[in-house]
Amino acid sequence: MIINKNKFYIIILFISFILILFFRFHGTSYKFDQNNCKLPMKWKHAAGTFEKIQLATKNKYCGIEIDVNLHPDGFFIAEYNDPLNIDAPKLKNLIKSFPSIKYWWLDFKNLEYNNSKLASSALIELSKITTGKIIVESHNFLGLFFLDTSNKFVFKAYWLAKNSKWYLYFLYLARSVFAMIFINPDFVTMFSHQVDGSDYIWVGSRTRLVFTVNNIETLNKLFFNNIEVILTDKLIP
């Protein structure tokens, strides 16, 4: 059977396109430095004040998580709801005060397409004042897509949304698969109860970061499922 040259080129292009999509979906697995923190790593949850970070440092947490908002003037504040809260600590001041923190997990509450460029500039400035890694978490699809994390110290984390309702399963699966392909995040974050052996179909080979774990039994179960980093309120490194 003779294949028309044009059809042959179309087939090659189609196969190449599929391979590129699969490569994007598969992603890469980030390797944490075990010289800095013993696995599984316990990072402090909701440490958005000077006092909480000071206590986390005293207890030798190498990573912390902070809920942040981007102020309209282009700087981050440690604040859950209000981006205009002038009394909230500035993230820049917190990072400057604690150079020993190796990982900063930022739960970016108000990331969206409209402020992604401003946020990208703010992240570049933050990366200049720390030797630690900055992980920016969000579930806003367009915001994460346009967020510039080309700096080697800044990473994207896609918050994985699953739903227990069986009739919505496909929609959540599709959204996650699209996020892996188009956003291509460095990490995926999820609740501890979401972790299972079939997570590859959602997130490819990406490293999963899990919250919030406060007992040893759950921690051991997660480590058995190749989870290396958890957020905690109670467990001490």
Cβ atoms within 10 Å, residue 121: 12
Contacts 24+ apart (CB under 8 A), 28-35: 28/186, 28/205, 28/206, 29/205, 29/206, 29/207, 30/155, 30/186, 30/187, 30/206, 30/207, 32/207, 32/228, 32/229, 33/102
- How do the domains of the chain map onto residue ranges? 5-232
Average the pLDDT over 208-215 and give the result: 95
What percent of the chain stands above pLDDT 70?
96
pLDDT band, residue 162 (cuts 50/70/90): low
CATH architecture of the domain with residue range 5-232: Alpha-Beta Barrel (3.20)
Confidence (pLDDT) at 11 = 77
Confidence (pLDDT) at 164 = 64
Q: Tens digit of pLDDT for each residue in 175-200?
A: 899 999 999 999 999 999 888 888 88
The answer, yes or no, to whether residue 129 has pLDDT greater than 90, is yes
Average the pLDDT over 193-214 and give the result: 90
Q: To 10 degrees, the CA torsion angle through 105, 36, 121, 115?
A: -10
